[in-house]
Structure 1
Amino acid sequence: MTDALFLTSDDVAGLATPGEYVDAVRDGYRQRGMGAPAKPRTTLVNDDPTGMLTGYSAILPETGAMGGYTYSAGFGAGDAWFVTPLFDAESGEPLALIDGASMNPFKTGAVGAVGVDALAREDATTLALIGSGAQARGQLKAAATVRDIETVWVYSPTKENRESFAAEMNEKLDASVAAVASSAAAVESAAIVVTATTASEPVFDGDLLEDGAHVTAMGQYHPKKRELDATTIERATYVPDLRERTTRDAGSFRFAVESGAITEDHVHAELGEVVAGEKPGRETADEITVFDSGGTAIETVASAYMLYEKADAKGLGSTVSLSPASEALTGK
């Protein structure tokens, strides 16, 4: 038997700053760029009741941790539930079991910010945000830790949602945050564009992107999810979180290939390769760049281990006892 730390969503809420998430996730992707193992998500879809079960995994050898993310969405409850098992990467023993609800927007925001930091111009101060939900909040807070954002234009289809989001973020950030009436109004003058939606059709016209703009797309986790049009993909230096997922579930990339706008070799590099310095990121000021994020266990394991260490130091959480397979099989 061995004891593992169980952390509830309340245990980890507020335990780390957006900047600490970004630092942990950046290092996780650096390790991936040096060869750390990670696999794209696998999703099982159920018809009745409608829902999906998703999981993915990664090993971060230098961090000394490995694990994954398993979550259900839909089904009878019509909600989502996130669970993260965390293991020691040397002994293989379980370290923690974490309720990932409150961690989710922060770790997802962090990988978006790592993409911004790796690919956006250093002098970028204007940001367009498409979306106004929990993931949009995570993206904006994290992006503000890697660039000196002065102006944010936010658009989502529901007027009251985008306006309340802008009012809230104006109170929390140094930047000026304003709601606008269209995605075009948000994107036209932005040096950074972040999409945080569940859209199945492009949320802006790629011809509107200024030369030198960077796009971080967070809703690219299903073949039918397509936040970006083929024009955006074609114009851009294209960097996914994992190369392997571009032909599996990166909806915008797949559509651009199928439409003939690009070929499969349009992938410039994985994010980890850029972070680790194995491949170049942005090479010119006028270059358009795209970071396509579908979600991986790299950011999950990196964030979970950071939270585990913080919680352990503060005496948070409770313990659960787990039996090794040898004990269960032999009955000893």
Structure 2
Amino acid sequence: MLVIGREDVQKAITMRDAIEAIKRGFILFSQRKAVVPLRVPIKLRENTILFMPGALLEDKSVGVKAVSVCPGNPERGLPLINAVVLLIDGETGRPQALIDGNIITTIRTGAAGGAAAEILARRDSKIALIIGAGVQGRIQLEALKTVRDIELAYVYDINDRKAEKYASEMAERLNTEVKAVKDYEKIISEADIIVTATTSKDPVLKGNLLKKGAHINAIGSYTPEMKELDVDTFSRASIIAVDSKDAVLEEAGEIIEALRRGIIREDALIELGEILSNTELGRKDESEITVFKTVGIAVEDIVVGKLVYERALEKGIGVEVKNFL
């Protein structure tokens, strides 16, 4: 079995590699060639442990990501979130790899946003607005730069210093102009692509401010209580793409709210894998507003984890544990 840490994951693949892997994963999922049960949560007092299993039927690849969220960890000097991805050979049942799940989650979520923007955002998109200057805010901009020629990115965070640091570091990292803003609502009408990467329980994006032709990647919310987008965003959207219909109906607060209020119907939701399989289902003209809502599904971890494992073998990186079983 191969153990692959954070640095080796980053050596193994590029963002473009991850985006292509994610596209394939979404297509297989929508074609029912992947088995992805809903995540299994276990509560241990204030701690939450999530198990996300899945399998790629054609590849005979099986995987499970275990994620722990422990609010008391920062006081212990430990990370709030810890995760690992276990890959299993579906033919033999033997474990193949144990991979740092934090970096896999970061990369695959960024790649999902990149895949959505590549198929749905206008090709001439130049200006991005990132709401939330955390880890996902960073990787989302990297993914957007991979698929579109972003010339200017604005970033907002409730922590001004965090936004300023983001702007400085990401401008240097991506060789792109990045500006921190305090009143991001003034920027919404200017942005071609907007990313929401927060855990807010109140909408951070007002749909009535969106310019025609805008694309939104809603990345942050993953529980029924969280809502990043308001109902006006959905009422104006021509396309509402999701990673998994079943998952967002259970876990995406803004989708649940829009359905409850009769703003949209379930048949308005289309899985991104369906659009990737048939581009005629995507953007029809330059004035359409498009939305991609993701809560994260295990197929993303498996396709990216599998690619990391294969590239690690090719490059001779990672730590091999012999005679594990």
> 1:215-234 maps to which residues of 2 (within 5 A)?
215-234=216-235
Other-structure match for 2:267: 265
Runs of 4+ in 1 over 6 A off after TM superposition: none
Q: Is the 8 A contact 1:131 1:195 kept in 2?
A: yes
Q: Is the 8 A contact 1:40 1:244 kept in 2?
A: no
Q: Deviations over 1:141-177 (max 9, x none)?
A: 0111111111111111111111110111110113211
Other-structure match for 1:35: 32
C-alpha distance 319-216 of structure 1, shift in aligned 2 (>3 A): same
Counterpart check, 1:246 vs 2:243: no
How far 1:68 moved relative to its partner?
2.6
Counterpart check, 1:77 vs 2:98: no
Q: Deviations over 1:10-53 (max 9, x none)?
A: 432333222221122122222223322243542425262x1211
Structure 1 SS opposite 2:34 = coil
Counterpart check, 1:23 vs 2:25: no
Count of residue correspondences: 318
Q: Is the 8 A contact 1:6 1:320 kept in 2?
A: no
Give the residue type in structure 2 aligned to 1:205: K
| 2:9 corresponds to which of 2, 7, 12 | 12
Structure-2-length-normalised TM-score: 0.91
Q: Is the 8 A contact 2:155 2:181 kept in 1?
A: yes
Give the residue type in structure 1 aligned to 2:240: Y
Other-structure match for 1:68: 64
> 1:99-248 maps to which residues of 2 (within 5 A)?
99-236=100-237, 237-248=239-250
Looking at structure 2, the residues matched to 251 and 226 of structure 1 have their Cα atoms a distance apart, in angstroms, of: 5
Aligned-residue RMSD, C-alpha:
1.9
Looking at structure 2, the residues matched to 179 and 200 of structure 1 have their Cα atoms a distance apart, in angstroms, of: 23
Give the residue type in structure 2 aligned to 1:264: E
Q: Is the 8 A contact 1:57 1:68 kept in 2?
A: yes
Other-structure match for 2:77: none
Once the two structures are overlaid, the 10-residue window that deviates more, 271-280 or 175-184, is 271-280
Other-structure match for 2:43: 46
Structure-1-length-normalised TM-score: 0.90
Give the residue type in structure 2 aligned to 1:14: K
Q: Is the 8 A contact 1:217 1:291 kept in 2?
A: yes
Q: Is the 8 A contact 2:34 2:299 kept in 1?
A: no
How far 1:58 moved relative to its partner?
2.6
For structure 2, the 5+ residue unaligned runs are 75-79
Structure 1 SS opposite 2:107 = helix
Give the residue type in structure 1 aligned to 2:288: E
Q: Is the 8 A contact 2:248 2:294 kept in 1?
A: no
How far 1:64 moved relative to its partner?
4.7
Structure 2 SS opposite 1:96 = strand
